[in-house]
Chains A and B, each alone.
Chain A
Amino acid sequence: MDFRVGDEQRELAEGIRALVAGRLPIGHLRAQEGAERTIGADDWAALGETGVFALTLPEPAGTGLGLADAAVVFEELGRALIPGPLVGTFLAAALDLVPGAAEGRVMVDACTSGGPPWLVEHLTSLDALLFLPAHGIGGGRSLLTTVRDAPTARRVAAPLDPLTPLWSLTALPAGRPLDDPDGRFFRDGAILSAALQVGHATETLELAVAYAKERHQFGKPIGSFQAVKHLCADMLVRAEVARAAVHAAACLADAPDVLAAESAAAGMTAFARMQRAAAGAKLLADEAAVTNARTAIQVHGGMGYTWEVPLHLHLKRAHLLATTFGTRADLSSLVASLVRAA
């Protein structure tokens, strides 16, 4: 067994990091704060060309990689605050629901909110929308629909995340019902949302540590004070524990034989064991992302409370992601329902 992040995965991550640093740097993204469209079609297509949405599709359409590789990539996208319906478009490509999703020619969002009203992200940029009821944790009727001109849609004037425009829908458009016999929507959606969250948790940790080294008070870097050090240490612990959980869930998804052995040892079905891994990873990653963003703001003091410092963007995105593919209550109940006495 070698559960380390492999060299090829590291290279993959570095490639994505270089792409987004060159094409979608934070200053470029922030120029779109509050806009109706926060990521351009050409940028979306550039992500598609890199294979971001088609990682797990077999060649030649995709790159034939696993969900663990996708998790490594999505972590980078989270770190860089890349906006747009990343997870929905990935699902549309991976499950072959909407032509063009794999190449980033279309945008597909996965709406997991209950309604009415339904709050839909990036609505006027979308080519299709996946409605996944019950916060996306499975159950209920999933729908694939087009909503670009949904008559009941009203743009939200003040969305929480300035880089994620929202629309409120009072009625659901008609759509095509979708089957999800293997629970792939929740499995992939939760794992990749969790990977984005690990990215947020890591980026806010690094911003806090950098600030703690450079900011001086009482003649010393504030990072030399144990009270500040311990905040930073706890951020690292949360990020590392969540990352291990996300990678383990992705590895189980990629290896049916390992999942079979694990579920036999736990005395449960492979489906249940997979759900427990995905839900647990999402739960811990949500917590790490939100808590680390809050802690980074605390370490930055008054500067952390300003619009200028980008920490609030990570905090807001983390909150947004924590409402998709299971809330804390959904996920902790789901995991609790899958505990087995040894």
Chain B
Amino acid sequence: MDLRDTASERAFRDELRQWLAAVLPDVGPPPPHDDWPARRAYDLRWQRTLFDGGYAGVDWPAEGGGRGASPFEQLIFKEECERAGAPYVGVGFVGLLHAGPTIIAEGTTVQKERYLPAILRGDDVWCQGFSEPDAGSDLASLRTRAVRDGDDYVVTGSKIWTSHAEVADFCELLVRTGDEDRPGNRGISWLIMPMDSTGIEIRPLRTIEGTTEFAQLFLNEVRVPVANRVGEENDGWRVTMVTLSFERGTAFVGELLEAMRLLGELDATARRFDLFAHDRSLQHRLGHLQAAFDALWALTKRNVSEAAQTGVPGIGGSVFKLSFSEHAQKLGDLAMEMLDRAALCADPLDRHGTPLGNAEQVHNWFKSINLTIAAGTSQVQRNIVAERILGLPRSR
């Protein structure tokens, strides 16, 4: 049991640090949250920079064109990028973390050659068509239908919570190809749907923050070539599960490090304006959050150690997510309380010439509310922990 970088991990970190220091001065500030075309351009430009620097797909296996980094190198990559203030993966998320790894594992040679280099170079953006209005936590009950017609599938249905749909080139799409009367995880297929196909309507969904983070897709007899199917027909559920463990213990690491940074800024604000003198409980809550984030950073290293040794991350990820999402929400609530009325506007404010950081803290508060919902609600995560780790009887 130790926390020491190996010689090769240290070398990877040093090299990455030098590279980041060299390229980041030329990267400007990110565009506004709501300007999707600008966000696409910004995120893809960064992806191209990573590609040119040899860091594209750092977590992809070498046979997929990636760097084949170890789980710890992936962790170091995320840590150093966050510490250096590098751009986030942004619109590249689905391609780099879901669709690409799925095609590496299950795609044909033709599919690999067509899609993988374009993801790595930052040419193509992918979105995800998994959830449906009636299939959320119970994803396997999805009903979007794909009917064979010659060399095409004809797809009809609706998908929801699709991030980056407006600017995506392709959609990783789960459809029902099997017997309609027997829903469930058999009878699902995994398709690559070009977003410029006829019959796709994109309706942006407005979040509680007032922004359009994701959209609902309406698919009306969209023709998708059979050649775009990844894996066998009706085997799409297994194909999907292959990549669910792709992040190997490093999911939400960027969010954790960002939360620590925001906590530090909150602390600096509290000291400058002497907020703890007025209310000691604020200090106790802030200290407790720092302790929790330090612990979650340690838990991340434990989960990554597990992944590095066994090849699979185990289910430490559920434990991490349950705790992190709860503490991120506490951080958001603490920030809102400490900001007082400065929390009432999203415009950047200052007091006596000192920026209050209110815009970012309020934005983070909104984001934190979604953390116990997205990527498996906390209730579903608790079922997973109780049944798969603790061995309690299944209840569904």
Contact = CB atoms under 8 A, between A and B. Distances in A.
Interface of A: 1-6, 9, 68, 209, 212-213, 220-221, 223-226, 228-230, 232-234, 236-237, 240-242, 244-245, 247-248, 251-252, 254-255, 257-258, 262, 265, 276-277, 279-281, 283-284, 328-329, 331-342
Interface in B242-264: 260-261, 263-264
B284 A258 contact: no
A280 B295 contact: yes
A336 B286 contact: yes
A233 B306 contact: no
Interface in B272-306: 276, 280, 283-288, 290-292, 294-299, 301-302, 304-306
Given A224-B395, A244-B299, A1 B2 contact: yes
Contacts of B232: none
B268 interface: yes
Nearest to B9: A1
21 contacts: A1-B4, A2-B2, A9-B1, A209-B392, A224-B395, A232-B390, A232-B392, A233-B322, A233-B381, A234-B322, A244-B295, A244-B302, A251-B3, A255-B3, A265-B83, A280-B290, A284-B291, A328-B284, A337-B287, A339-B286, A339-B290
Q: Which 7 pairs of residues, A with B, have the shortest CB-CB distance?
A: A280-B291, A336-B287, A248-B298, A245-B295, A332-B287, A335-B287, A229-B386
A42 B391 CA distance: 39
User: Contact residue range for chain B?
Assistant: 35 or more
B319 interface: yes
Nearest to B392: A223
Contacts of B276: 336
Nearest to B381: A233
Given A251-B1, A332-B284, A241 B301 contact: no
Q: Indicate the member of A68, A280, A331, A334 with the most B CB atoms within 10 Å.
A: A280
Contacts of A209: 390-392
Nearest to A277: B294
Given A252-B3, A277-B294, 9 more contacts: A224-B395, A230-B379, A233-B386, A237-B323, A244-B302, A255-B2, A333-B283, A336-B276, A337-B287
Contacts of A265: 83
Q: Indicate the member of B283, B391, B394 with the most A CB atoms within 10 Å.
A: B283
A5 to B, nearest CB: 6
A336 B261 CA distance: 14
A68 B4 CA distance: 14
A229 B264 contact: no
B354 interface: no
B392 A224 contact: yes
Interface string B65-100: 000000010000000000100000000000000000
Contacts of A336: 267, 276, 283-284, 286-287, 290
Contacts of B263: 339
B137 interface: no
A248 B303 CA distance: 13
B385 A283 contact: no
B305 A1 contact: yes
Given A4-B309, A241-B299, A248-B301, A331 B287 contact: yes
Contacts of A212: 392
B319 to A, nearest CB: 5
Contact of A2 (B264, B296, B308, B387): B308
B148 interface: no
B34 interface: no
What's the dominant secondary structure at chain A's contact region?
Answer: helix
Nearest to B76: A1
B388 to A, nearest CB: 10
Contacts of A333: 280, 283-284, 287
B294 A280 contact: yes
Nearest to A208: B390
B383 interface: yes
Given A244-B299, A251-B3, A255-B4, A224 B393 contact: yes
Nearest to B295: A245
A332 B5 contact: no
Nearest to B270: A336
B3 to A, nearest CB: 5
Nearest to B389: A236
A247 B298 contact: yes
B18 interface: no
B206 interface: no
Contact of A6 (B1, B261, B319): B1
A342 B295 CA distance: 18
Contact of A341 (B6, B268, B280, B387): B268
Nearest to B5: A1
A279 B319 CA distance: 22
Interface in B358-396: 379, 381-383, 385-387, 389-395
B213 interface: no
Contacts of B288: 283, 332, 335
B299 A1 contact: no
Contacts of B299: 240-241, 244
B235 interface: no
B287 A341 contact: no
B392 A229 contact: yes
B265 interface: yes
Nearest to A261: B5
B295 A332 contact: no
B3 A258 contact: yes
Contacts of A340: 264, 267
A281 B295 contact: yes
Given A281-B295, A328-B284, A229 B387 contact: yes
A3 B298 contact: yes
